[in-house]
């Protein structure tokens, strides 16, 4: 049935995920939802030096929020920070250099951050799509290390800080590609069979949806959400999916359009009127499974995912310097 799922997803995407889909959906948006002052609130955005992460950080900064940019590349991050400060006039922009594929680095960062800052909103945006199977220095498959384990550790490490905050939120940037994947806990690091980077990425994005649903059940004082930004023209899309980019470049959303729902989930009062744990597209919750796609997983698989990630997390926490 994989051909069916892929075909349905692509046809659906052609209609909804493009710039035209955004323009159509935006006709029902209430601009007042995001016309808010968030001065005094603290936001952390991973992968914030380009693309959707930078666009989100910039819009939060325009609204007066304190923004912590978590980036891997120091040079690009400093350029992004300077751009955000210059364009918004907001001086409360802070830079942290962290490689989200390195769990020890994340633990070290999170423990220091908890002691020095407050946090109202965590935005898990950092991600990668590596098209060949690569291992990190810790022996982890790089897509899994970044998209799944990195997101898990960053979130769970900062939950104690978020639980102290008013109106705490966690938003994870996923992808509609997850609709073609059923959770697979038997091969989290893609060791079996041929390696398909696009499908590994989609599997990671399914895992992020499951994480969000599980976190929402476990932490009732925090509002969790996961979203699909549509198909946006970002540096990551250009580098990771060049053929797709060439085919779709005239129809792709802008970075700001891709970031719109992230911003809405992060700042609007309307977002938290909806239940925690939902999957969003264009400011509204949407199903996490296509009809007849057979992508539902049993509860025991979802519990197994959480158990395995927690084991990894604790292993790297104990190995983290400091």
Terminal C-alpha separation, the chain: 49
Question: Which of the residues 17, 22, 152, 201 is marked catalytic?
Answer: 201
Looking at the DSSP bridge assignments, the partners of residue 67 are 43, 93
CA-wise closest residue to 281 among 245, 223, 231, 206? 231
Q: Is 22 a catalytic residue?
A: no
DSSP 8-state secondary structure symbol assigned to residue 71? E
Provide the token pair at 235. 């540096």
Contact predicate 265/277, CB 8 Å: no
Instruction: Calculate the CA 3 to chain-centre distance.
Output: 26
Q: What phi and psi values does residue 132 have, to the nearest 5 degrees?
A: -120, 150
Contact predicate 200/131, CB 8 Å: no
Side-chain-side CA neighbours of 263 within 13 Å: the count stands at: 28
Contact predicate 138/71, CB 8 Å: no
CA-wise closest residue to 206 among 269, 107, 283, 290? 290
d(CA 305, CA 301): 6
Catalytic residue numbers, as ranges: 201
């Amino acid at each position: 049935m994989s051909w069916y799922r892929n075909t349905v997803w692509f046809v659906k995407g052609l209609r909804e995920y493009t710039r035209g889909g955004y323009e159509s959906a935006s006709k029902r948006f209430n601009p007042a939802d995001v016309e808010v002052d968030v001065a005094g609130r603290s936001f952390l955005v991973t992968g914030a030096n380009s693309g959707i992460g930078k666009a989100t950080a910039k819009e939060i900064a325009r609204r007066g929020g304190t923004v912590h940019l978590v980036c891997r590349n120091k040079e690009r991050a400093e350029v992004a920070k300077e751009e955000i400060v210059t364009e918004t006039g907001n001086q409360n922009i802070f830079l942290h250099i962290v490689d989200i594929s390195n769990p020890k680095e994340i633990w070290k960062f999170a423990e220091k951050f908890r002691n020095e800052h407050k946090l109202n909103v965590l935005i898990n945006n950092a991600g990668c799509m590596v098209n060949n199977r690569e291992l990190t220095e810790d022996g982890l498959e790089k897509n899994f290390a970044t998209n799944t384990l990195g997101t898990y550790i960053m979130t769970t490490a900062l939950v104690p800080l978020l639980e102290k905050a008013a109106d705490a939120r966690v938003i994870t940037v996923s992808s509609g590609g997850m609709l073609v994947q059923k959770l697979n806990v038997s091969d989290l690091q893609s060791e079996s069979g041929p390696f398909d980077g696009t499908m590994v990425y989609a599997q990671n994005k399914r895992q992020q949806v499951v994480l969000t649903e599980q976190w929402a059940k476990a932490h009732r004082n925090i509002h969790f959400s996961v979203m699909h930004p549509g198909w946006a023209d970002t540096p990551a899309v250009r580098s990771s999916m060049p053929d797709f980019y060439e085919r779709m470049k005239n129809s792709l959303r802008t970075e700001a359009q891709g970031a719109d729902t992230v911003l809405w989930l992060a700042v609007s009062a309307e977002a938290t009127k909806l239940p925690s744990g939902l999957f969003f597209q264009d400011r509204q919750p949407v199903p996490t499974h296509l009809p007849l796609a057979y992508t539902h997983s049993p509860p025991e698989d979802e519990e197994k995912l959480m158990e395995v990630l927690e084991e990894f997390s604790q292993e790297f926490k104990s190995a983290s310097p400091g």
